[in-house]
A and B are shown apart, each in its own frame.
Chain A
């Protein structure tokens, strides 16, 4: 098995006096899809934000391809090949669809993704390229947000709550695209409220509870009850 490209160890994160992460550790290999589950406030988004540099962390806690990236600013980390699809999509409202995508391609690392490839993946965006990003439906906005992150040709894609606020049929469509989105050996970490969907697509999962890892492994190795216990912190699986 190849060496992990992302190694996180003893990660702590704070919002002021509030500690959101308590010594989280994880490893990710090239081409792997990791699902991150946990209830609201468990620290999932904070973990993603720490990896991409939006939440500052102490040095030495996050190693990417052998280099310590903890504490680096987000605009430097994206150049190293880590892109985030943020929770709630967060498109730039004063930019058109195409401008959002072009801005995502400001950091253009070598790779298969460019405007044509995004329009090929999501043909509807090609029709709406000049529309203000705010005029799109939620699902279309999610496509722009994913496309914007892909435009930098990342090696690691962080997907935060893809299904938040979207209709079930739209969620299904987006998940059907997932293999095309993270093909080509791209690694991904997926944060998802919908546990069965998150576990259905991943080779590996981590369950966070109150900022600590409460369970991890192959989704098939655990029963629903074990995962549910780790999720809600009700059973023996929680070791805290």
Chain B
């Protein structure tokens, strides 16, 4: 029973990892940009959420109404003002610039918020749970996170494959030169993709802050989880990203069940096994 419980909890936390990863996957798909600062933006969103809750006294989930648009605006400006200038045939400049951003964000947050760890208090939601018949207890908050992850990925999938904005994303991803001939401004399209990415990061950051303590140094490990979920799922596949998050969460849960010290290790090992056996991930995008 304990094992089944570990698997169920692993699946649910996998939803959070999928939220970490969805934005990374989207950005890589549209502009071949690997954002090293992605994890630090999750932490930034957590701090913005914390600030909003402190100032306005809102429930953390209500703070999403402010955090998500704020993160989207940050994403749009970041892409337009900085990252668009680094894009080109060479993958290295954006990598270096986002690495620098990661350092700046961590130290900036440290200056402003100190190294004290914070947490968002969601009240009763944090402890609420219900028991499914054979003794498996499911927390309301993890379930909510998982449902949100599914909703976010379904929404991204819809935007990407069913809307004009999604057509623009795919066209720019396919052929930047010809996309301009369709009247598309690549800089703007990239910035819209980054806005969408950081909007998802806003949701992930607030959930992260409700779920556990966080401090300014928290970003890089979130980035690793996000990366691992993307790679396990297969680059460019959004539903694959969810599967990757779940596999990562379940591996960590089972690892912790064997020995509490093995939680993270088990996740990384699962990632390495997938990488060795299926280097393109479980659900690689079919290339035309």
Contact = CB atoms under 8 A, between A and B. Distances in A.
Contacts of A83: 181
Nearest to B183: A107
A222 interface: no
Contacts of A149: 181
B174 interface: yes
Interface residues of A, number: 28
Contact of A75 (B170, B174, B175, B185): B185
A106 B168 CA distance: 10
A75 B180 contact: yes
A147 interface: no
Interface residues of B, number: 19
B173 A78 contact: no
B38 to A, nearest CB: 23
Given A92-B175, A93-B288, A86 B181 contact: yes
Nearest to A158: B181
Contacts of B174: 92-95
Interface stretch (A16-24, A97-105, A192-200, A226-234): A97-105
B193 interface: no
B171 A78 contact: no
A90 interface: yes
A90 B177 CA distance: 10
B184 interface: yes
A84 B182 CA distance: 10
Interface in B92-144: none
A73 B180 contact: yes
B180 A74 contact: yes
A73 B185 contact: yes
B178 interface: yes
A107 B181 CA distance: 9
A52 interface: yes
Interface string B147-187: 00000000000000000100110110111011111111110
